[in-house]
Amino acid sequence: MKIKSAEFVISNTDVFKCPKENLPEYAFIGRSNVGKSSLINMLTNHKSLAKTSGKPGKTQLINHFIINKNWFLVDLPGYGYASVSKDKRKTFQKFIKDYFNKRMQLACTFVLIDSRHAPQKIDLEFMEFLGINGIPFCIVFTKADKLNKSTLPKNIEIYKKELLEYWEELPTYFISSSTDKTGREEILDFIQNVNDSMK
């Protein structure tokens, strides 16, 4: 898939104020500081479509971007250890759950996992939430360029083994790096294939 256009549409915390167009949308979510904004910018070939920050928890709204005029990319707040108050975290949880439970246009969720770390309970619990609610998802292992060629596959294997304790089969997964654009074509081709299957 070639990205011909990528435009910001709306930010809000109310799922009922999300765009009304019946276009497929793809949500991106992960723990704070997983590299979500960098990945979105890499996929869309924009330097600052999604706001990047050294401070975790920068995204605090549901952000819709329309891509190629025919599908939405949705940037969701990170979960986990963002430096925000407990009240704000509870608010995140409510509108994030509302989004997943009520957004019928959602075609797939990309759950971002930092490839440098061992499986984290909060990520596994979030994927379990998606599974229980029948929400399709893929995993994107981020920051692959930060690991050497032997450590990366070992880390992925550890993660796969952990997942198979909870799941009968592994979800589709991608390995990515915003620095060298690893995974870009694979993720965009996956989105294209899903879009084509929905026509």
Q: Which H or E run contains 175?
A: strand 173-175
Average pLDDT, the chain: 88
Give the three-state DSSP class for 117.
coil
**Residue 21 dihedral angles phi and psi, to the nearest 5°:** -60, 140
Radius of gyration of the chain, Cα coordinates, nearest whole angstrom: 16
The answer as to whether 1 is a domain residue is: no
The answer as to whether 146 is a domain residue is: yes
Read off the CATH number of the domain in which 102 is found.
Answer: 3.40.50.300
The predicted model gives 74-91 an average pLDDT of: 66
Q: Which residue has the tokens 């915390």?
A: 13
The answer as to whether 151 is a domain residue is: yes
Q: Which domain holds residue 101?
A: 6-197
Rounded CA separation 102/150 (Å)? 42
For residue 14, the model assigns a pLDDT of: 87
Which is nearest to 67 in space by CA: 100, 28, 103, 33?
28
Most confident of 23-37, 41-55, 67-81: 23-37
Q: What is the pLDDT of residues 92-147, one digit of tens each?
A: 578 888 899 999 999 999 999 999 999 998 899 889 989 989 999 999 999 999 99
Domain count, the chain: 1
Check: pTM over 0.85? Answer yes or no: yes
Task: Give yes or no for residue 57 having a pLDDT over 60.
Answer: no
